[in-house]
């Protein structure tokens, strides 16, 4: 998979032209060297997972959960899988 990176000043073609090439790999649009937007082929993407992975409230919840896990401990994901499989 190829990742194409373009500065926003160079991304002058219509969006449709970039979207047609997204099956070759992600197209990252940057501004001052920093990622600004990404055009990806949606056929291989779980749209619910994409929505959650960019949702600030969900990301905040995950971060709080990780901090709680570090501070208080808990059941590891491996242990949880083992427990669920034994039922």
Contact between 29 and 8 under an 8 Å Cβ cutoff? The reply is yes
Show the tokens assigned to 3.
């990742």
Contact between 18 and 39 under an 8 Å Cβ cutoff? The reply is yes
Over residues 36-46, the mean pLDDT reads 89
Over residues 52-73, the mean pLDDT reads 91
Residue range 74-83, pLDDT digits in tens? 888 888 898 8
d(CA 44, CA 79): 30
Residue whose structure tokens are 């501004």: 31
pLDDT of 44 > 80? The answer is: no
Which CATH architecture describes the domain 1-43?
Answer: 3-Layer(aba) Sandwich (3.40)
Domain coordinates of the chain in residue numbers?
Answer: 1-43, 46-87
């Amino acid at each position: 998979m190829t990742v194409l990176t373009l500065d926003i000043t160079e991304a002058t073609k219509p969006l449709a032209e970039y979207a047609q090439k997204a099956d070759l790999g992600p197209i990252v649009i940057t501004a001052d060297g920093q990622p600004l937007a990404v055009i990806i082929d949606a056929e291989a993407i779980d749209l619910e997972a994409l929505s959650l992975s960019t949702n600030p409230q969900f990301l905040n919840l995950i971060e709080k959960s990780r901090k709680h896990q570090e501070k208080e401990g808990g059941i590891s994901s491996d242990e949880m899988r083992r427990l669920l499989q034994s039922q």
